[in-house]
């Protein structure tokens, strides 16, 4: 009986052990694949805040933290867009811009850039009155010919400007319906692709430069400003 029992183990015991090992290997493989797929999914759709996403993933800005405040604009006042100025921070220069520098107009690193702006409640009470935004704008390089730049407010196209290498003043009326109850709105400019100075033989700078924004002014559609904003 003993030899027969040994023969039975030899014939039937080993295959069962191998089958059990295969099952464990399959389970381990499934676990590893599930882990890898989860990591790939998290890499594709990471759970990060908006600042992190815009800076590290979308490369939509060269600014990270702190973002800065969006100041209330006073009608009739000209705002230079420089580092250290009220509009020279990443809260206003929301997407597509290089970090502002002192005494240098802020420039775009992407074809599409977005400004976040805000007017005082009395200028447009509860978004009931339109306002006009004037931008002093040009395009790199100085010899650039005028090409259309699309102007969008709250993702709606409102006009197009012919922007070239010379600074010009362009105005757009922001409809009351596109101004939030707190006076805030976004202004997006979509122009030709930026150009690297190295590619046009100007210098060794390899980073692209597009639109250049020097200053911003706000006024009412009638060209009037509240008494408190007048000199």
From the number of C-beta atoms within 10 Å of its C-beta (0-12, 13-18, 19+), residue 192 rates as: middle
pLDDT of residue 16: 64
pLDDT of residue 217: 95
Cα separation, 135 vs 42, in Å, equals 40
pLDDT of residue 33: 86
Cα separation, 221 vs 14, in Å, equals 89
Superfamily of domain 62-223: Galactose-binding domain-like (2.60.120.260)
pLDDT of residue 13: 52
Half-sphere exposure of 31 (CA within 13 A, CB side): 6
Tokens of residue 222, six digits: 């009638």
Ranges of the chain whose pLDDT falls below 50: 1, 224-231
Q: Where are the domains of the chain?
A: 1-45, 62-223
List CB contacts of 57: < 8 A, sequence separation 6 or more: 46, 48
pLDDT of residue 203: 84
């Amino acid at each position: 009986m003993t030899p027969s029992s040994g023969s039975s183990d030899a014939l039937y015991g080993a295959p069962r052990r191998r089958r059990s090992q295969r099952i464990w290997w399959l389970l381990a493989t499934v676990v590893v694949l599930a882990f890898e797929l989860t990591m790939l999914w998290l890499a594709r759709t990471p759970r990060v805040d908006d600042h992190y996403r815009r800076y590290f993933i979308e490369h939509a800005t060269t600014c990270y933290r702190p973002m800065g405040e969006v100041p209330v604009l006073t009608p009739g006042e000209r705002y230079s867009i420089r580092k250290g100025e009220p509009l020279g921070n990443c809260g206003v220069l929301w997407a597509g811009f290089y970090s502002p520098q002192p005494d240098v107009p802020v420039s775009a690193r992407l074809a599409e850039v977005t400004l976040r702006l805000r007017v005082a409640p009395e200028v447009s009470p509860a978004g009931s009155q339109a306002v006009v935004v004037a931008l002093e704008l040009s395009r790199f390089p100085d010899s650039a010919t005028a090409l259309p730049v699309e102007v969008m407010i709250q993702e709606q196209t409102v006009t197009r400007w012919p922007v070239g290498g010379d600074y010009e003043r362009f105005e757009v009326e922001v409809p009351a319906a596109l101004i939030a109850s707190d006076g805030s709105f976004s202004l997006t400019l979509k122009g030709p692709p930026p150009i690297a100075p190295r590619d046009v033989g100007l210098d060794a700078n390899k980073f692209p430069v597009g639109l250049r924004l020097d200053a911003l002014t706000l006024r009412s559609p009638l060209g009037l400003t509240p008494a408190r904003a007048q000199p």
